[in-house]
Structure 1
Amino acid sequence: MTVTNERRVLVHPDKATLAGTVAARFITKITDVIDSEGDANVVLTGGTMGIAVLEAINASAARDSVDWSRVSFWWGDERWLPRDDDERNEKQARAALLDHIAIDEAHVHPFAASDSGLTLEEAADAYERELADAAREGTRAPRFDITFLGVGPDGHIASLFPGREGIRETERSVIFERNSPKPPPERLSLTLPVLNASERLFMVLAGPDKASVLGLALAGASFEEVPVAGLQGRRRTVFFVDQDAAAEVPENLIAPVNYWTAADAN
């Protein structure tokens, strides 16, 4: 079967509706993936909307229709902070969803923390090995079925920032950042080729400060200047946005929220 990929923008009236709709789509799709593949790999993100989606999944009446024991969780990036720091993406994701579902802890794959005994560089190497250990033959990471990503006002994704070496990295699966333009300065991140190897990329954006960068990305800006412009999942690349974030999106790229065709089964 030939799978065509396209970028699609789905616009929602407000942040609450946005989070709830993404949660519903996720539950439906991850259930389908488990049925067809036997298991699933999900990459989580942080940020206000990333955590809001996880909270909406947890609040959904359909939450326990998912066989969570077959789902493995990874992270797109992490802040280099102590394990129990409230700013760590892992801690926020656990509070929002993971602590409330029947998961196998062996299937949860956080980045190392700053108090793990590893250096930042060693932590990047360790996560790269963990990805490789779970990868299919000939690949360097697991089959990421759904990867969630937020987008910063500067267009950054994960911890890949405009004009930095990390966004241009093609050999490594994981990079470390020592001087992030957004605090905290030290971070770990998956690289763009690994993100783009995901089957489905779900970007969730809200607020007027995201409108300009989203418009630039969809208009073909350089990924080195606007990192989100470089995203292209293997099957689906979907921007879930609110009205404010959609202000500069070309009208021909906006699909009705209820537009979900047979192609979306991929």
Structure 2
Amino acid sequence: MTASPVIVSCQDRSAVAQRAAGDLIAHIEGVPAGTAVHIAVTGGGVGIATLAELAKSPRLAEASPGRVHLWFSDERYVDAGSQDRNDIQAAATWGPGFVIPEANIHRVAGADSGLSAEAAATNYETEIGRAKAAFDVVLLGMGPDGHVASLFPGHPGVSDKRTGVIAVHDSPKPPPDRVSFTMPLIRSSDRVWVIASGAEKAPAVKAALSPASTAEDVPASAARGQLESRFYLDTESSSLLD
């Protein structure tokens, strides 16, 4: 069983980012001292804005950041330094003085590593296992088509039943090659928080919260956590909800 989604209403994109970042820090603060905290983060406009808010909060520096591990729920499979990568966009907001140690920021290998996307996915899955990373929070952005991570409607990856990490090819959104958490891995986490803003997301939000939707048609409709599921929405993205 997974938790039914709770809507967290925010005024605009900035408010979504601030609230989600604040709640992430509050979760870290609430975990007993000495316990590792594993959080999977996301890219996209509001996702990167959330990570920027996380980085600049003075509360994060006080919340034992050395025990926090950041993972990426998906990554564009391009060269390691490419500006298309989620980790590079995130690092640009964090800056060189980011309080979470670089060793605790777990990155997917780049296309210039000499590995195939499949091998990079396998290595990342192995790294998750080696770290014994039971995810406290998986933070996900959502596309206008209802995709989360790199799991797209009608695409083979969204139906993969393995609890792990997969290579995604021929993505309907460029770049075509990606590495992504599977839906079972997302759903195995304690908490899944979906963040969305903008009127263009409103139809997908409505579909993602409809009991009639399937993961194959609207992947975000299956993005649920074991203990908690949240949708952080601004006024525009929630405008079609009853």
Normalised by the length of structure 2, the TM-score is 0.94
Equivalent AA in structure 1 for residue 20 of structure 2: V
- Residue equivalent to 1:112: 109
- Residue equivalent to 1:26: 24
- Residue equivalent to 2:153: 162
- Residue equivalent to 1:182: 173
Find out whether 1:236 has 2:228 as its counterpart.
yes
Equivalent AA in structure 2 for residue 132 of structure 1: G
TM-aligned CA distance change 1:57 to 1:245, over 3 Å = same
Q: How many residues align?
A: 241
For residues 172 and 232 of structure 1, the distance between their equivalents in structure 2, rounded to whole angstroms, comes to 14
SS at match of 1:73: strand
1:1-266 aligned within 5 A: 5-33=3-31, 35=32, 38-97=35-94, 99-135=96-132, 142-171=133-162, 173-220=164-211, 221-250=213-242
How far residue 98 of structure 1 moved from its aligned partner, in angstroms, is 6.6
Q: After the TM superposition, which parts of structure 1 deviate over 4 Å for at least 4 consecutive aligned residues?
A: none
Question: After superposition, what is the alpha-carbon deviation per residue over 1:59-114, rounded to whole angstroms, capped at 9, x for unaligned?
Answer: 22323222111011111000011111111001111222274323333322111101
Question: After superposition, what is the alpha-carbon deviation per residue over 1:8-46, rounded to whole angstroms, capped at 9, x for unaligned?
Answer: 01111111122111111111111112x267110010100
Q: Percent of aligned positions with the same letter in both sequences?
A: 34
Name which one, 1 or 2, has greater alpha-carbon Rg.
1
CA RMSD of aligned residues (A): 1.7
- Residue equivalent to 1:263: none
Q: Is the 8 A contact 2:157 2:182 kept in 1?
A: yes
Comparing 102-111 with 158-167, which one deviates more in the overlay? 102-111
For residues 33 and 238 of structure 2, the distance between their equivalents in structure 1, rounded to whole angstroms, comes to 34
Contiguous gaps of at least 5 residues in structure 2: none
For residues 4 and 158 of structure 1, the distance between their equivalents in structure 2, rounded to whole angstroms, comes to 19
Contiguous gaps of at least 5 residues in structure 1: 136-141, 251-266
Comparing 45-54 with 124-133, which one deviates more in the overlay? 124-133
TM-aligned CA distance change 1:202 to 1:98, over 3 Å = farther
Comparing 207-216 with 169-178, which one deviates more in the overlay? 169-178
Q: Is the 8 A contact 2:34 2:67 kept in 1?
A: no
How far residue 173 of structure 1 moved from its aligned partner, in angstroms, is 0.8
